[in-house]
Amino acid sequence: MINIIDIKDPQEQASELRERSWNKDLSIPTRNVLKIMDIIKAEGDEGISKCIKKYENVKTMDSFVVSKEEIKEAYENVSAKQIRIIKYMKSKLEKSEQAVIDSLKNININSDGIKIKKTVLPIFRVGCYTPGGKARYPSTIVMCAVPAKVAGVKEIVAITPPMKNGKVDPLTLVAGDICGVNEFYKIGGAYGIAALAYGTKTIKRVDKIVGPGGVYVSVAKSIVSKDVSIDMIAGPTELLVFADEKSNPRYIALDLISQAEHSEDTLCGVVTKSKSIATKISLELDTIIKETNISRKEFVEKSIDNNGFIALCQNDKQITEFINEFAPEHLEIFSTHNKNLIKEIRNAGLILIGQYTPSSVSDYCLGSNHVLPTYRFAKSRSALSVLDFIKLVNMIEMNKDTLAKISPIMKEITLTEGLVNHYEAVKGRLTK
């Protein structure tokens, strides 16, 4: 049964709910990840093969490189309908990302003789992590590869854990091929992240690693971030629903269940002022979970029982404070009439407005990206996008007259900071 919690201090209780759900001892995973990384650094390809046998329970595999023949075979094992779905998802996301990058083109500034041109350049080589194991995620390779392709990335590398038969889910391979992946490897977990970060004889190191994963992947990304750029620590999914007394409790219950089915450590909750709707949602959840034969029931039950909550606030101010401190990955707003309250929401990875915009659809078909900030990172960043795959390079030019005009400013600030040679570099150009 989901917990109904009376909120008295929104910020403190939002933090407590997160701590209770995510307060995991990472010392053991960290030690294990460091050992795995040492193996990959020392043994390269051979270390990868050892890790595949140990962590993926794959006994025999000719190569961890996905061949052209395997991609061709993958197409033979998916339906035309599945291919159309992947292409539809790709086109929606492509259109959304292209609009972003188009807005950054032709940025030129001319101020008092100082000419600045801001040029968008793509990162050259990126690695995209696609989870495996408890489910298959062809949609994730779409979410990672499409923004990279739109950005103009030349080398897109994808990795995903192999299945026990030593192969990759065919639709995931097909999705990667359709979306422009240049290299695909049957590796995963911390050893896969290490291979992308440090390289081996077979796998050339990348300039950035993106994509979600479990605890070991998140720890690995955190560790390698000192050596290679990463997008974010994207962990288990989160959903927070803002509801009022007029909201449909069944829709909310279905949405909570749809996110809870990912894994037992998902974090799903509701925030509301209405005790009545809180009770109705709780009853609806119990009815659906206990009296119907829902898919992935074990994950749903554990997730809702251990991490699920309904936060009962006293007023709108408490609601916005709770939401902004909680900073959810997905935020559904069922109560759409309160425009002033909605304007106060500033921390959420993705905001979905109205009862007919469920978070589950945003994972696939809307043109939004489902690689979103978790762990409260929505306070400082947004979804994975084309912006993660580009650099905004500044090119500056000015003449001698302009340099002379700013010379007094340079003299004052360099003397203030004690960096006199900075000014001498200017003075030397102006002295005959």
| Residues designated as active site | 329-330
Local structure of residue 65 (DSSP, 8 states): B
Handedness of CA 21, 25, 30, 35 (dihedral sign): negative
- The tokens for 247 are 């909201």
CA 76 to chain centre: 31
Q: What separation in angstroms does the CA of 148 have from each of 86, 107, 151?
A: 16, 21, 5
Q: Give 3-state DSSP helix, strand, coil % of the chain, rounded to 5.
A: 50, 15, 35
Alpha helices in 181-233 (DSSP H): 189-198, 215-224
How long a stretch of residues is the chain? 432
Do β-strands 330-333 and 238-243 pair in parallel, antiparallel, or remain unpaired?
Answer: parallel
Q: Which residues contact 376 (CB under 8 A, 6 or more apart)?
A: 18, 326, 327, 347
Q: Which residues contact 402 (CB under 8 A, 6 or more apart)?
A: 112, 113, 114
- The tokens for 411 are 């003299």
- The tokens for 373 are 């900030």
Q: How many CB atoms lie within 10 A of CB 408?
A: 10
- The tokens for 65 are 């490189």
Comparing CA positions, the residue from 342, 326, 307, 424 lying closest to residue 24 is 307
Q: Which residues contact 87 (CB under 8 A, 6 or more apart)?
A: 178
CA angle 385, 390, 391 (to 5 degrees): 140
> Are 326 and 317 a contacting pair, CB within 8 Å?
no
DSSP string, 249-306: HHHHHHHHHHHHTS-TT-EEEEEES-HHHHHHHHHHHHHHHHHS--TTHHHHHHHHHH
Q: What is the rounded distance in angstroms from the CA atom of residue 134 to the CA atom of residue 325?
A: 30
Handedness of CA 85, 88, 92, 97 (dihedral sign): positive
- The tokens for 184 are 């695909």
